[in-house]
């Protein structure tokens, strides 16, 4: 068993070295496409479980009901987030007071903070399960290369494009992975850093959950995630697009249409508490508000 594990690790090491040299030479990698995805997924999960840096950043989310601009700060307790604009307009004094009161309540309620952290962990676990299932759920094939650009991989680096389609032999272990059985699309991978730069998938058929009793997702749903180097060597999500319709529990209509972009990443201390993160958000919001006033005065 031990020697088998050592031999397998040696195989992956040799394959990764060979892959790196071929990428620089602009050739199709010698290892099977699914093996490349498997090693990349393993590294993605490792990077997610052990982040090298935490950041404060901005988010612009657009839905059918309008847009919302938020500031976020990663802390060692939970993600701190503060809305600063709706439909491009700064919050009114009343809206700002309500937002600050919400954050103060979280700061002063350990039980609520624990619940928030658990919700975030549950969401992260679902994402991890989806990503971990990809090498088994899909069949991959090489489909060329493209260069990284701001917000996608690392600018100027070569990314390998892979098309994917469902693996007919895959049996999803739960309804979380069920969506993969009806999805096809393409993947962009930085083979040298073993990071996923883009996942772009579309539902080519209706996907049911629980034999259709719990619900379904309609054909045509679209899922897009792009990530890249945020300037300090660490990678983070830069863009996410979701377009899904369907039904939950037979009667509740599901309609998700949103695009969210993330920008202005700034490093923050690794040991930052939630309360300290909120304080940083307030300072950043005040700075942005002052800059907006200065621009208005100049006009």
Q: Where are the domains of the chain?
A: 1-30, 32-298
pLDDT-derived band at 216 (thresholds 50, 70, 90) equals: confident
**Cβ contacts of 13 within 8 Å, gap of 6 or more:** none
pLDDT-derived band at 23 (thresholds 50, 70, 90) equals: very low
Of 174 and 27, the structure prediction assigns the larger pLDDT to 174
Least confident of 11-25, 26-40, 87-101, 267-281: 11-25
Name the β-bridge partners of 201: 185, 223
Of 282, 228, 267, nearest to 75 by C-alpha is 267
**Cβ contacts of 272 within 8 Å, gap of 6 or more:** 54, 73, 74, 75, 76, 280
**Cβ contacts of 194 within 8 Å, gap of 6 or more:** 16, 39, 40, 42, 43, 44
Mean pLDDT value across residues 220-234? 93
The mean predicted confidence, pLDDT, of the chain is: 86
pLDDT-derived band at 9 (thresholds 50, 70, 90) equals: very low
> What share of the chain in percent tops pLDDT 70?
86
Whole-number pLDDT of residue 294: 66
Whole-number pLDDT of residue 13: 35
pLDDT-derived band at 212 (thresholds 50, 70, 90) equals: low
Whole-number pLDDT of residue 189: 97
pTM value is: 0.83
Contact 200, 183 (CB under 8 A): no
pLDDT-derived band at 19 (thresholds 50, 70, 90) equals: very low
Whole-number pLDDT of residue 2: 29
Q: What is the pLDDT of residues 47-58, one digit of tens each?
A: 888 888 899 999
Residues in the chain: 299
Contact 15, 39 (CB under 8 A): yes
Neighbours of 180 (CB within 10 A): 21
Checking if the pLDDT of 1 tops 80, the result is no
Checking if the pLDDT of 128 tops 70, the result is yes
């Amino acid at each position: 068993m031990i020697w088998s594990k050592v031999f397998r690790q040696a195989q992956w090491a040799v394959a990764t070295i060979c892959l790196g040299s071929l990428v620089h030479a602009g050739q199709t990698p010698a290892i099977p496409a699914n093996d490349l995805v498997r090693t990349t997924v393993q590294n993605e999960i490792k990077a997610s479980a052990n982040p090298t840096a935490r950041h404060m950043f901005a988010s612009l989310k657009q839905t059918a009901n309008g847009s919302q601009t938020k500031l976020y700060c990663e802390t060692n307790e939970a993600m701190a987030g503060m809305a600063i604009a709706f439909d491009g307009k700064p919050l009114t004094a009343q809206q700002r007071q309500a937002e600050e009161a919400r954050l103060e309540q979280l700061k002063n309620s350990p039980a609520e903070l624990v619940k928030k952290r658990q919700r975030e962990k549950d969401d992260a676990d679902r994402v991890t399960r989806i990503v971990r299932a990809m090498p088994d759920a899909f069949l991959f094939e090489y489909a060329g290369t493209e260069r990284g650009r701001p917000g996608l991989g690392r600018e100027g680096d070569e990314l390998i494009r892979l098309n994917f389609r469902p693996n007919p032999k895959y049996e999803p272990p739960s309804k979380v992975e069920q969506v993969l059985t009806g999805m096809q699309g393409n993947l962009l991978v930085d083979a040298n850093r073993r990071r996923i730069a883009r996942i772009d998938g579309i539902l080519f058929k209706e996907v049911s959950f629980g034999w259709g009793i719990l619900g379904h997702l309609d054909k045509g749903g679209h899922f897009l995630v792009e990530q890249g180097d945020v300037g300090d060597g660490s990678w983070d999500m830069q863009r996410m697009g979701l377009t899904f319709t369907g039904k939950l529990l037979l009667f509740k209509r599901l309609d998700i249409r949103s695009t969210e972009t993330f920008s202005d990443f700034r490093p923050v201390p690794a040991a930052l508490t939630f309360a300290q993160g909120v304080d940083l958000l307030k300072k950043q919001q005040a700075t942005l508000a002052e800059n907006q006033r200065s621009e208005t005065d100049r006009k």
